[in-house]
Amino acid sequence: MNSPDQQPDVEKSRGLAVAILDISFEVRRKSHEGTGVLPLSSGLLDIVRVVERHPGITVADLAARLGRQLSNVSAQLRELVALGLVTRTRDASDKRYVVLHPTPEALRIRTVLEGAWSEALASAKSRLLPAERAQLAASLPALERLATILAEPE
């Protein structure tokens, strides 16, 4: 149980988590139109993003990193392979394992989507007060470090 002293920090962490999730949802919702990119579910996009960050990852490691059942990840991978976004190949050093790599099309889509996400954020940020924009800019290194820490294996 948290002590009363920790309660404000817990509430701030909760508020930060909710804000990050809300921002992520709205950025994706508002930025996809006009990109010409096939809409991908969050689940599929999560897989592509992990494969892009960890080319050569195994299916089991991918499922563990995502906290999902291996059978569900395998089914989603079949869809991504059919869409030409991920390749599955036998590991050169151990043929028992299948390793995953992003395709050039996946990398192209990432570039397009990141540009659209950036535009959506820039548009929203333009409505903030100058001091709020400065606060966001100053928080970027801490947010990037937080994302790195959260991505570490447990």
Look up the CATH number of the domain holding residue 88: 1.10.10.10
Q: What pLDDT score was predicted for residue 2?
A: 56
Whether pTM exceeds 0.85: no
Instruction: For residues 140 and 154, state if they share a domain.
Output: yes
Burial 8-42 (b: 16+ CB within 10 A, else e): eeeeeeeeeeeeeeeeeeebbeebbeeeebeebee
Instruction: For residues 108 and 98, state if they share a domain.
Output: no
Report the domain count for the chain.
Answer: 2
Q: Which amino acid is at 131?
A: A
6 located within any domain:
no
Instruction: For residues 64 and 32, state if they share a domain.
Output: no
Q: What pLDDT score was predicted for residue 1?
A: 52
Q: What pLDDT score was predicted for residue 21?
A: 92
Per-10-residue mean pLDDT, the chain, length 154:
67 92 89 84 92 94 93 96 95 85 94 92 95 95 93 76
Instruction: For residues 134 and 146, state if they share a domain.
Output: yes
Instruction: For residues 78 and 123, state if they share a domain.
Output: no
Instruction: For residues 33 and 56, state if they share a domain.
Output: no
